[in-house]
Every structure is written in structure tokens, then in C-alpha cells.
């Protein structure tokens, strides 16, 4: 088996790792092995964080919509159900933006949702 001299491959690999680790504490930004471990761990956290970000924003939107609904005198769940019955297909991101920026438009949506809830036939007991 012939001997392989790694040459630029090794240098490029280490350079890439150390560039990603710049700003890390002590040897984690200086020595290749420590930097590689720190970069791998950071990439794991970054991957998980991208998933958590979606959850956090959805919960923020729900809190904002719920607060605006409470101010309008209706619960969040009744409001969302009323929107579905009224055929209004706005996602929570847009609803939260409307609730945050434009209270009159949000109140109009609340009125439409409550009208749809009143028009809904009552279930037989």
C-alpha cells in the first residue's frame, strides 16, 4: 500500500475547524482537537436550536393572540374555532401581527368569528 501524504487536505480541514471555533474560550479556539469537539457540540446545539425556534415563535404568537382575544372579551379557543367556521384561513403568525399592530382589524376578525359561532347549529343533547 503506497503512503499517502495528506498535504492540503489536512491543512484545509484544520483551518476550517479553527475558523468555525474562532471566539471560543482558551484552547477551544487554538488547538485542533479541542476546537473540533467544541465545534461539533456547537453544531448540535445549533441544529436543536433551529427546531426550538419554531416552537418558541408559535407559542409567542399564541400568547399575543390570546391577550388580544381576552381584551376583546372572547377566549382564544372560541376565537380560533369561530375563524375556522367563518372560513377565514389566517395563520397564527399573521393573526399575531394583526393583534399587535392593528387593534381595529383584529376586533373585526373577532366580530366575524363570533358571528360564525352564533350561526353554528347547536348539537342535539
pLDDT digits (tens, 9 = 90+) for 42-91: 999 999 999 999 999 999 999 999 999 999 999 999 999 999 999 999 99
- Domain borders along the chain are 11-119
In this structure, what C-alpha cell is assigned to residue 63? 400568547
Class of domain 11-119: mainly alpha
Nearest to 116 by CA among 89, 92, 93, 98: 89
Number of helices (H), then strands (E), in the chain? 5, 0
Nearest to 90 by CA among 117, 120, 115, 110: 110
For the whole model, what pTM was predicted? 0.79
Q: Characterize 16-43 residue by residue with b for buried, 16 or more Cβ atoms within 10 angstroms of its Cβ, and e for exposed.
A: ebbebbeebeeebbeeeebbbebbeeee
CA distance 93 to 96: 5
Amino acid at each position: 500500500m503506497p503512503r499517502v501524504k495528506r498535504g492540503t487536505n489536512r491543512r484545509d480541514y484544520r483551518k476550517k475547524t479553527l475558523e468555525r471555533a474562532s471566539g471560543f474560550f482558551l484552547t477551544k479556539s487554538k488547538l485542533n482537537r479541542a476546537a473540533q469537539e467544541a465545534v461539533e457540540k456547537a453544531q448540535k446545539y445549533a441544529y436543536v436550536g433551529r427546531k426550538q425556534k419554531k416552537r418558541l415563535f408559535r407559542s409567542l404568537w399564541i400568547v399575543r393572540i390570546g391577550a388580544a382575544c381576552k381584551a376583546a372579551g372572547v377566549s382564544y379557543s372560541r376565537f380560533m374555532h369561530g375563524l375556522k367556521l367563518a372560513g377565514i384561513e389566517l395563520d397564527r403568525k399573521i393573526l399575531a401581527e394583526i393583534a399587535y399592530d392593528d387593534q381595529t382589524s383584529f376586533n373585526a376578525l373577532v366580530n366575524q368569528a363570533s358571528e360564525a359561532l352564533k350561526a353554528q347549529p347547536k348539537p342535539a343533547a
